[in-house]
C-alpha cells in the first residue's frame, strides 16, 4: 500500500492573501473554488477569512465571521465526505464555523491566541492543527533568529501537544505544522525541510505548507507566486518522503498527482 496523504486545499476568503487575495472574496466564488479543489483531489478544505501573510493586519471577529461562515456552511453541505477546516485564531469564529459544519480547526497560534480555543476544541471533539509561529503575522518576519530552529520548533510543538491533551483534546485529533515561512528566514525553512523527520518523530500527523511561499521564490528566482508550482511540488514530495502526511496547497490537482506518484515509491512495498 502506498503512503496515505491528505491534500488540504486553500480557500482564502480574503482581499489581501499573498498570492490569491481577492479572487475568492465573494462567497459564491469561494464556494465554487472549494468545489473545484475537492474535485481535483482535496480531502480537506481550509477556509480562512484573515490573511496570515507577513505584515498582514488583523481582522475583527465580526468581519471574519461574515466572510467564512456562509462558505463553510455551503461547502459542508455540498461535500459531506470532505473535511472542512476553519483557519482562525479566534474561538468565536471557530465555534460558529463548527456550528456551520466545519470539523477541523487550523490555528496558526497553536491554540494560544485565544484562551477559549483550547476548551472549545476539546468540548466539540474537533480535529486541530497546532502550528509554530514566531511572533504574529505583522511582525514574524522581522529578522527571526534561532540557535537551532528545528529543536526550537520541535520543543514548542511538544509543549502545545501537551497543553492540548491536558485540556481534553484527544491525541489522535491533533496534527502539527512546523510553520514554514512563519517567522523563519530562508535557511530556517530549508533546515526544517532537511530535518523534517525530527518533527515527524514527535508522533502526530505533520502538516506542511510551502505552497507558493517567498522562500521558493528566493531559491528559484520566481518573483510571481503563481510561478512557484515546481518548487511547491519539490518541497511537498520531499516532505512526503520524510513522513509528512498533510499538504496545504493552492494548486491541488498538480500536487495531488505528484504526491500520488511519490507515495508509490516512498510507501511500504
pLDDT in tens, 78-126: 999 999 999 999 999 999 999 999 999 999 999 999 999 999 999 999 9
Domain ranges of the chain: 6-266
Active-site annotation holder among 90, 154, 213, 245? 213
Q: Which fold has domain 6-266?
A: TIM Barrel (3.20.20)
**CA 176/CA 183 separation, integer angstroms:** 16
How many angstroms separate the most distant Cα atoms in the chain? Answer: 50
pLDDT score, position 240: 97
pLDDT tens across 38-49, in order?
999 999 999 999
Active-site annotation holder among 74, 134, 154, 248? 248
- Is there a catalytic annotation at residue 90? no
| Burial of residue 261 (number of CB atoms within 10 Å: 0-12, 13-18, 19+) | exposed
Nearest to 61 by CA among 26, 33, 86: 86
Q: Which residues contact 15 (CB under 8 A, 6 or more apart)?
A: 21, 22, 25
pLDDT tens across 202-212, in order?
999 999 999 99
Write down the pTM of the prediction. 0.92
Grouping H, G, I as helix, E, B as strand and the rest as coil, residue 107 is strand
For residue 47, list its beta bridge partners: 11, 86
- Is there a catalytic annotation at residue 213? yes
Q: What are the cell numbers at 62?
A: 465580526
- For CA atoms 16, 21, 23, 24, the dihedral sign is negative
pLDDT band at 18 (very low <50, low <70, confident <90, very high): very low
Amino acid at each position: 500500500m502506498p503512503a496515505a496523504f491528505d491534500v488540504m486545499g486553500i480557500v482564502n476568503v480574503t482581499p489581501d492573501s499573498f498570492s490569491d487575495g481577492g479572487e475568492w472574496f465573494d462567497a459564491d466564488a469561494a464556494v465554487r473554488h472549494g468545489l473545484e479543489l475537492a474535485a481535483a483531489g482535496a480531502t480537506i478544505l481550509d477556509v480562512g477569512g484573515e490573511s496570515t501573510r507577513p505584515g498582514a493586519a488583523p481582522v475583527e471577529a465580526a468581519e471574519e465571521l461574515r466572510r467564512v461562515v456562509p462558505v463553510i456552511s455551503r461547502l459542508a453541505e455540498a461535500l459531506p465526505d470532505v473535511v472542512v477546516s476553519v483557519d482562525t485564531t479566534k474561538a468565536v469564529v471557530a465555534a460558529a464555523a463548527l456550528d456551520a459544519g466545519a470539523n477541523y480547526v487550523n490555528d496558526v497560534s497553536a491554540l494560544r491566541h485565544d484562551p477559549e480555543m483550547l476548551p472549545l476544541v476539546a468540548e466539540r471533539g474537533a480535529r486541530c492543527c497546532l502550528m509554530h509561529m514566531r511572533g504574529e503575522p505583522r511582525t514574524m518576519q522581522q529578522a527571526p533568529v534561532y540557535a537551532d530552529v528545528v529543536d526550537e520548533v520541535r520543543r514548542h510543538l511538544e509543549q502545545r501537544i501537551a497543553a492540548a491533551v491536558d485540556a481534553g483534546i484527544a491525541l489522535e485529533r491533533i496534527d502539527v505544522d512546523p510553520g514554514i515561512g512563519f517567522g523563519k528566514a530562508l535557511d530556517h525553512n530549508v533546515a526544517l525541510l532537511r530535518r523534517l523527520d525530527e518533527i515527524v518523530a514527535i508522533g502526530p500527523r505533520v502538516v506542511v505548507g510551502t505552497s507558493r511561499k517567498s522562500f521558493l521564490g528566493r531559491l528559484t528566482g520566481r518573483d510571481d507566486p503563481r510561478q512557484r508550482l515546481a518548487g511547491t511540488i519539490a518541497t511537498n514530495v520531499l516532505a512526503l518522503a520524510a513522513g509528512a502526511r498533510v499538504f496545504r496547497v493552492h494548486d491541488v490537482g498538480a500536487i495531488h498527482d505528484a504526491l500520488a506518484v511519490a507515495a508509490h515509491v516512498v510507501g511500504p512495498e
